[in-house]
């Protein structure tokens, strides 16, 4: 399930809108120079994050001001990449688990994408050994980590991204796996302020037709939007309750954001 200009990578995976790097500081395996040769880049997200995304990409692709909203810092990159549609080629996800050839990330890195230039933009390509490791991670299922995360009680939900454009979803990621059957209209509540930016005046409007796409199960990544139409210019409040896969309640989650243009 899933939902560029908006998609791109910086340096090792640089922004197609101009955020690029030359791969300096990496050896032929894609690791920072000076690291132990006995610890090569491995085909798991933690290693790719530590050796590629964080040292090379997050100089520009981090935080709320990340170009075109693409954040590649730890804690956000998984939700931004896995089962997330490319906006340059909407039929392709940035990363489709099990299908490196069909993943837009790999096509951009290898220079086979139908749109735009090979990444990093205007710089030498990544070493083939590095691309091969990223390929293998995708072929292996593009898991979030190489080992199960420690249990957090109660499970926490984290806001990853608010909408940048009228039809973009809100991205929310859990610490583990949610019980999907508990994600109902009663438990996923989306309200807009009614035009005044506040939620205590009695003029709020509840969005009844909420679209919930599950991009990943473990960890659970939700893309939440409006079922019919686009965001109306207003301030929104999203609240989520529910249960983890063991049936235990998750921690209360609430976020507010502006969408649909200026209020």
Percent of the chain with pLDDT over 70: 79
Instruction: Please give the average per-residue pLDDT across 194-216, as a whole number.
Output: 95
Q: Out of 1.10.150, 1.10.8, 3.30.70, 2.60.40, which CATH number does the structure's domain 157-259 have?
A: 2.60.40
Cα angle: 120, vertex 56, 105; to 5 degrees: 45
The predicted-structure confidence for 84-126, as pLDDT tens digits, reads as follows: 988 788 899 999 999 999 999 899 889 999 987 777 666 678 8
- The phi and psi torsions of 70 (rounded to 5 degrees) equal -85, 105
Whether the predicted pLDDT of 12 surpasses 60:
no
Q: Are 49 and 71 in contact (CB under 8 A)?
A: no
- The phi and psi torsions of 177 (rounded to 5 degrees) equal -105, 125
The predicted-structure confidence for 30-88, as pLDDT tens digits, reads as follows: 555 554 445 689 999 999 889 888 887 787 778 877 766 778 899 999 999 999 988 78
pLDDT for 260 equals 86
Query: Cβ contacts of residue 166 below 8 Å, gap of 6+?
Result: 230, 231, 259, 260, 261
pLDDT for 11 equals 37
Whether the predicted pLDDT of 252 surpasses 70:
yes
pLDDT for 7 equals 32
Sequence ranges of the domains in the chain:
1-147, 157-259
pTM of the model: 0.80
Whether the predicted pLDDT of 133 surpasses 80:
yes
pLDDT for 121 equals 66
CA–chain centroid gap for 152, Å, is: 21
């Amino acid at each position: 399930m899933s939902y560029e200009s908006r998609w791109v990578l910086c340096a090792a995976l640089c922004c197609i809108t101009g955020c690029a790097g030359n791969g300096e500081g990496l050896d032929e395996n894609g690791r920072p120079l000076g690291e132990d040769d006995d610890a090569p880049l491995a085909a798991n997200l933690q290693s790719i994050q530590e050796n590629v995304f964080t040292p090379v990409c997050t100089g520009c692709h981090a935080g709320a001001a990340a170009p075109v909203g693409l954040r590649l810092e730890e804690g956000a990159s998984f939700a931004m990449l896995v089962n997330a549609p490319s906006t340059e080629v909407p039929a392709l996800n940035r990363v489709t688990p099990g299908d490196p050839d069909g993943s837009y990330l790999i096509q951009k890195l290898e220079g086979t994408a139908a749109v735009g230039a090979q990444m990093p933009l205007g710089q030498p390509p990544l070493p083939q050994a590095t691309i091969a490791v990223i390929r293998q991670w995708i072929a292996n299922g593009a898991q979030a980590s190489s080992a199960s995360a420690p249990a957090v009680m109660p499970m926490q939900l984290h806001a990853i991204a608010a909408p940048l454009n009228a039809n973009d979803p809100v991205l929310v990621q859990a610490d583990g796996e949610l019980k999907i059957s508990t994600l109902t209209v009663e438990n996923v509540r989306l309200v807009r302020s009614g035009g005044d930016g506040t939620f205590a005046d009695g003029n709020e409007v509840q969005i009844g037709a909420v679209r919930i796409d599950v991009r990943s199960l473990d960890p659970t990544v939700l893309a939440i939007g409006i079922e019919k139409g686009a965001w109306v210019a207003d301030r929104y409040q999203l609240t989520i309750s529910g249960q983890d896969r063991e049936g235990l309640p998750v921690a209360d989650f609430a976020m507010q954001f502006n969408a649909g243009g200026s209020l």
